Structure formats: C-alpha cells, structure tokens
C-alpha cells in the first residue's frame, strides 16, 4: 500500500489534534530557574576543580624550595613522573666520561613546544628526554655551529639523547645561557615512521606512516600545523641537561680543517642516529642525531665537520696520546646515557 | 513576564505540544519536552532574535533525541494498548492509517523530526535542516529515506490530480 503526502499530513494533524495541554507558565519559569541554578552550580564546581588542579600542579613547585635545600646540589632529579638518569655517559672513541645532571624540567602536557634554557659549562653539553609513554615523539630543534639549525626527531624510547662537542657547539656556547626548543607529541601523532620501526610498518604503511616528516617538522609552519592538529594533551615528560664532566675536560684545541666544496654538510635529514662506519671509528665525532637543516650551504661558512679521511690533531690533554686512527681496537661507539645500553 | 514570553507560551503551547507528541508519541513526554524547551527558551529569551519558534523547535528536537538515546525503549506496561484500532476509524482506512502511524513510530528520531517539521509544521527543507542541525543534503536524504520507509510516494498526489483533471 502506497500513501500520499496528503495522507501523511492528515494523519499527523489528526493524531496531534487529540492532545490538549494547557500552558502552565509558572511551572515553566520555575523550571527555567532550576536550570539556571544548576548551570551556575556546575560552573562553580568546575571553576573550583580547576583551581584545585592548578594548586595541585603548582604546589610541589611552590612548596619545593625547602625540599631542594635538603637534597644534594648534584641530584637535581624530578620528584615524580618519568625518571631522568643522574648521569650522561659520553663515549667518543677513547674518550669516555660521564656528566652529571645540571638542569631538568618536567611537563605534564604534550603537543606544544617548550623552550629549555640552561647555562653550559663545557662543549659537551648533553640532553635526554624521558616520557611516560616511550612511544611518544620527541622533536628537538637547536642551534649548531656556524649558526645552522639542527635537531632530531625520534621516539622517546631507549637511550635517545645527544650531546655536543667542540665541533657541533655553536659559537659562543660558553659565553652565557643557551636554549633549545623541544616538542613532545603523543604516540599516535601523524608522524612519518622511520628508523627500525619503519620495517615493522612496511606492510601497513598507510596505517603506520603519518604525513609529517622530519623535514616538514623542521619548518616552523610544519610543527605549528601539527601542534594545531593535535592540540595540547596531558602527558608527562621531562628533559635533563647534562654537563660539567667530573674531570675537567681539556680545552678544545680543535681547529677545523679547510673545508672542501664537495664536503659541505650533507643535508641528509634523518631521525635516527647515523650508523658509524668502521673507518671512522676512532674519530671523536659527535654522535648527536643532529643533521644540518636543508639550507643551501654558504660559501663563507666553514664546514661543520672536517674531512673524515684526515686524522684529527691530538688535543693538548687528550687521554689518547696517539691519533685515534692508529688504534684498531674499540668498536665504534656513540654517546649513550648510562642506564640503557642500546639506542632506541 | 519579560519580552512577551507569556504571550508566546499562551499562543504556541498547544501547537508545540502537538509537535512534541508527534516526535515522542506520548502526551506526558510531549508536555515534558515542551516545558523543558520553553524553560530553556525563557533563560535565553532576551537573546533570541527573530522567530522564537525556530529556537524552540530546535530545543525540542535536540532534547527529544537526547532523551531517546538515554531512555529505555523496550517493553512498557500500559493499561491501554497503544496504536490500537480507533473507534472513529473505518475498516480499510483504519488499517492503512494504523500501518502508517506505526511506520512513523519506527523511524529514527532524526527522520521523524524531518517528517514532522516538514509535513506538520510546514517548514521548508532548508529550515528543517537548520532546525535539525544538519546540511540541506542530509535533510533531503533523511526525508527521502523516511518516505521510502513509510511508502509515501510524493508523485502520487500529482498523478491523482492529473487524473481528476481528465
């Protein structure tokens, strides 16, 4: 049986006509006032909860002054959240020493950039980020030698982190406070997966690989776009800055050799640590996951790294008396924080 | 009462109750819906610009959809069998109308809202879309699906009229 629109109209009118409710204005207004009171109560409760949250978050810091006095000056670790290692081990060929934590900051949200300020005490200043979820993404952007920008993008797992040396530290590194910008994004951020995990992603590349690559995120617009897309979310992470080695390090006497035009920085963007080649094993090479940003090399800029074929001049107080290349022994090592033996 | 709210209630209450009844199919719930909608409208009465009907319709439709999601819609004990034969109905017509009424009751809340607003309140599809809170295309789709479900053919009326002219 098929009906017409008129049938429908008539049926609706007919069925609706049966009712005959009389308006009760007082009831309506009374109900409206109840709704208003309820809304105000909810607003008050929410405002109170927000105040309590703020107090709870800031109280440890506000009340932390007396506690700081009780702990030794060299144990500036966090009271809660992911724990930072106390020391950072530097392994550059035969150079092996540890650096204590000199500065740390803790955050309870992810998805927005944070500027970390610190005062380096040597050229080997290192940093490490720890997160409540090891699959979170960590993006670090900082200055490199010659005014170039560098940084890294990686998951928060393992022993990721890096340190400068005299060849990567920007000019005037020891002249005063320095800063770097750090972003931590949630694990499900649409970031292109590369490195060891990319292999697991291969069969489901579309599910695994996000649209934001390291190159994209290195541009301010790219990271701002990702920030806007993700928004600030709760998530605990901390960053530690390590410096001032236990033994006074030699003053760098490194003099960069004459750059070769063809050896200007290879603008390779990687978000995983470069794998050292055996022939470069003993060179005291920075092991940061830092690469130069894709800027056209300027003629007047010295190359940040010397030609790898040439042996390094021995330092005045270098623990290794001979040029590193002459020593066949140790396997190439990279700077690794103490607790975790392998890179993530 | 401020700003003519009392006059509006006096004039429109019954119509709003009927519209709410067609959505909820229960007079008690319909009056509750209208009272809730009018109470919320009273709170915002000074801020309402233009025809308050649209604002109140929107509250009724949204509140009904919200209640429909929350409330138990299973078997409900009742003294009177719902949707039974009406004493006013006549044999065949009764069967058709009861079937149509039952089919309306089986529509989703949004489809039912589109049907009621378009065929009972006489709103255009653009106004329906605005009231229901969807795009015009979605409103058209909902209407078409609802009519298909109700077996209402919009062209039949035209055919009948053409037949009568001949």
Select from B13, B30, B120 the Cβ nearest to the Cβ of A13.
B120
Cα A198–A203–A206 angle (5° rounding)? 75
Test B14 with A20 for CB contact under 8 angstroms: yes
Looking at residue A132, the DSSP 8-state letter turns out to be S
pLDDT in tens, B67-95: 877 665 555 566 656 565 555 555 556 67
- pLDDT at residue B137, as a whole number: 93
From the CA of A28, how many Å to the nearest CA of chain B? 5
d(CA B44, nearest CA chain A) in Å: 10
Say yes or no for a CB contact (<8 Å) between B119 and A12. Answer: yes
Numbers of helices and strands, H then E, in chain B:
8, 0
Whether residue B34 is predicted with pLDDT greater than 50 in this model: the reply is yes
Q: Does B40 touch chain A (CB under 8 A)?
A: yes
- B120·A12 Cβ contact <8 A: yes
Tokens in use for B145? Answer: 């699906």
Cβ atoms A92, A330 nearer than 8 A: no
The reply to whether B45 touches chain A by the CB within 8 Å rule is no
What pLDDT score was predicted for residue B117? 93
Which chain B positions have a beta carbon within 8 Å of A18's beta carbon? 27
**Does residue B149 belong to the interface with chain A, where contact is any CB pair within 8 Å?**
no
- For the beta sheet containing A178-185, the strands, ordered from the edge strand earlier in sequence to the opposite edge, are A114-118, A178-185, A137-143, A149-155
Angle between the N-to-C axes of helices B156-165 and A5-17, in degrees from 0 to 180, rounded to the nearest 10: 110
Over residues A78-87, mean pLDDT: 72
Looking at the complex, does the CB of residue A21 fall below 8 Å from at least one CB of chain B?
yes
Residues of B in contact with A9 (CB under 8 A): 119-120
Closest to B33 measured CA to CA, from A166, A21, A332, A286: A21
Asked if A28 reaches chain B (Cβ–Cβ under 8 Å), the answer is yes
Q: Chain B within 8 Å of A275 (Cβ-Cβ)?
A: no
Looking at the complex, does the CB of residue A5 fall below 8 Å from at least one CB of chain B? yes
Residue (of A176, A171, A128) closest to A152 by Cα position: A128
- Averaged over A70-99, what is the pLDDT? 66
Across the interface, do A21 and B160 touch by the CB < 8 Å criterion? no
Q: CB contacts < 8 Å between A and B, how many? A: 104
Distances (CA, A) of A315 to A98, A138, A258, A325, B84: 19, 34, 18, 14, 101
* Domain residue spans of chain B: 1-73, 91-166
CA distances (Å), origin A151, targets A132, A241, A320, B1: 22, 15, 30, 66
Q: Which of B87, B123, B156 to mutate to test the interface with A (most CBs of A within 10 A)?
A: B156
CB contact under 8 A, A28 and B38: yes
Contacts of B101 in chain A (CB under 8 A): 11, 15
- Candidates A314, A303, A301, A309; CA nearest to A253 is A314
Rounded to a whole number of angstroms, the distance between the first and last alpha carbons of chain A is 69
Helix ranges (H only) for chain A are: 5-17, 25-62, 64-70, 196-201, 205-208, 214-218, 220-230
Residues A153, A195, A343: CA angle, nearest 5 degrees: 80
Tokens of A203: 């069969």
Q: Which fold has domain B1-73?
A: Rna Polymerase Sigma Factor; Chain: A (1.10.1740)
Contacts of A29 in chain B (CB under 8 A): 1, 39, 42
Strand order in the sheet with A95-110: A87-92, A95-110, A233-242, A126-131, A162-163
Which chain A residues are Cβ-neighbours of B120 within 8 angstroms?
A: 9, 12-13, 16
Q: Do B100 and A3 lie within an 8 Å CB cutoff?
A: yes
Residue range A252-267: mean pLDDT, rounded: 42
A223 neighbors A136 (Cβ within 8 angstroms): no
pLDDT-derived band at B118, boundaries 50, 70, 90: very high
Answer whether A23 sits within 8 Å of B31, measured CB to CB: no
Out of A6-10, A71-75, B123-127, the most confident range is B123-127
The angle that helices A25-62 and B27-43 make with each other, rounded to 10 degrees, is 60
Q: What are the pLDDT digits (tens) for B55-64?
A: 899 999 998 8
Distance from CA of A111 to the nearest CA of B (A): 32
Q: Which fold has domain B91-166?
A: Arc Repressor Mutant, subunit A (1.10.10)
* Average pLDDT for B12-22: 90
Which string of b and e fits A146-164 if b means at least 16 CB within 10 Å?
A: bebbbbbbbbbbbbbbbbb
Flag if B35 and A12 touch (Cβ within 8 Å). Answer: no
Q: Tens of pLDDT along A214-257? A: 778 877 788 888 888 888 888 889 999 988 754 555 554 454 54
Global ipTM: 0.75
Which has more pLDDT, A221 or B129? B129
Residues A294, A220: Cα–Cα separation, whole Å: 13
Give the contacts of A239 (CB within 8 A, at least 6 positions apart). Answer: A84, A104, A105, A114, A116, A127, A128, A129, A130, A182
Q: Which residues in chain B are closer than 8 Å to A16, comparing Cβ atoms?
A: 18-19, 21-22, 120
Q: Which one has a higher pLDDT value, A238 or A195?
A: A238
Do residues A243 and A120 touch, judged by C-beta distance below 8 A? yes
- How do strand A137-143 and strand A178-185 relate by DSSP bridges? antiparallel
- Is the confidence at residue B159, as pLDDT, over 50? no
A70 touches chain B (CB under 8 A): no
Mean pLDDT over the full length of chain A? 67
For residue A182, what pLDDT is reported?
A: 92
Q: Which run of H or of E encompasses A104?
A: strand A95-110
Count, residues in chain A: 344
**By C-alpha distance, which of B120, B117, B136, B125 is closest to B58?**
B117
Q: Which residue has the tokens 């006497």?
A: A253
Measure CB to CB from residue A2 to each of B19, B38, B156 and give the nearest one.
B156
B119/A28 CB distance under 8 A = no
Cβ of A37 under 8 Å from any chain B Cβ?
Answer: no
Report the distance separating Cα A65 and Cα A46, nearest Å: 30
Packing angle of the helix pair B52-70, B5-24 (nearest 10 deg): 40
- Distance from the A141 Cα atom to the nearest Cα atom in chain B, whole angstroms: 44
Distance CA A286, CA A162 (A): 9
Token digits for A253?
């006497």
Q: Do A17 and B101 touch (CB under 8 A)?
A: no
């Amino acid at each position: 049986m098929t009906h017409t629109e008129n049938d429908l109209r008539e049926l609706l009118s007919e069925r609706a006509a049966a009712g005959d409710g009389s308006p009760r204005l007082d009831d309506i207004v009374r109900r409206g006032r109840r709704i208003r009171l309820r809304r105000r109560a909810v607003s008050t409760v929410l405002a109170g909860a927000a105040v309590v949250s703020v107090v709870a978050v800031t109280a440890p810091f506000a009340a932390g002054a007396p506690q700081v006095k009780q702990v030794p000056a060299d144990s500036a670790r966090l009271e809660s959240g992911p724990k930072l290692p106390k020391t950072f081990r530097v392994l550059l060929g035969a150079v092996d020493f540890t650096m204590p934590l000199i500065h740390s900051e803790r955050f309870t949200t992810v998805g927005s950039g944070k500027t970390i300020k610190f005062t380096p005490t040597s050229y080997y200043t290192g940093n490490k980020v720890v997160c409540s979820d090891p699959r979170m993404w960590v993006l670090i952007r900082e200055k490199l030698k010659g005014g170039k920008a560098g940084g890294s993008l990686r998951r928060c797992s393992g022993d990721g982190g890096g340190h400068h040396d005299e060849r990567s530290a920007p000019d005037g590194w020891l002249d005063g406070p320095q800063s770097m910008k750090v972003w931590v994004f949630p694990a499900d951020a649409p970031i292109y997966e590369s490195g060891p995990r990319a292999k697991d992603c291969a069969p489901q590349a579309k599910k695994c690989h996000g649209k934001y690559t390291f190159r994209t995120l290195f541009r301010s617009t790219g990271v701002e776009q990702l920030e806007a897309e993700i928004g600030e979310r709760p998530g605990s992470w901390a960053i530690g800055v390590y410096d001032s080695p236990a033994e006074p390090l030699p003053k760098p006497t490194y003099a960069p050799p004459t750059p070769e035009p063809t050896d200007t920085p290879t603008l390779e963007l990687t978000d995983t640590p470069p794998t050292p080649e055996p022939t470069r094993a003993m060179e005291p090479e920075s092991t940061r996951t830092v690469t130069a940003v894709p800027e056209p090399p300027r003629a007047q800029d010295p190359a940040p790294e010397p030609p790898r074929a040439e042996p390094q001049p021995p330092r005045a107080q270098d623990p290794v008396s001979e040029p590193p290349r002459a020593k066949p022994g140790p396997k190439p090592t990279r700077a690794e924080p103490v607790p975790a033996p392998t890179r993530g | 009462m401020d700003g003519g709210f009392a006059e509006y209630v006096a004039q429109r209450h019954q119509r709003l109750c009927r519209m709410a009844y067609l959505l909820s199919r229960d007079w008690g719930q319909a009056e509750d819906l209208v009272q809730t909608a009018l109470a919320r409208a009273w709170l915002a009465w000074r801020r309402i610009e233009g025809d308050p009907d649209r604002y109140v319709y929107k509250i009724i439709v949204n509140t009904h959809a919200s209640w429909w999601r929350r409330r138990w819609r299973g078997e409900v004990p009742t003294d009177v069998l719902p949707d039974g034969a009406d004493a006013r109905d006549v044999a065949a017509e009764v069967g058709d109308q009861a079937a149509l009424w039952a089919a309306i009751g089986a529509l989703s809340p949004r489809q039912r809202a589109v049907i009621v607003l378009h065929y009972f309140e006489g709103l255009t599809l653009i106004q329906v879309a605005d009231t229901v809170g969807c795009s015009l295309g979605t409103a058209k789709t909902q209407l078409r699906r609802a009519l298909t479900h109700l077996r209402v053919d919009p062209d039949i009326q035209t055919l009948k009229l053409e037949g009568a002219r001949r």
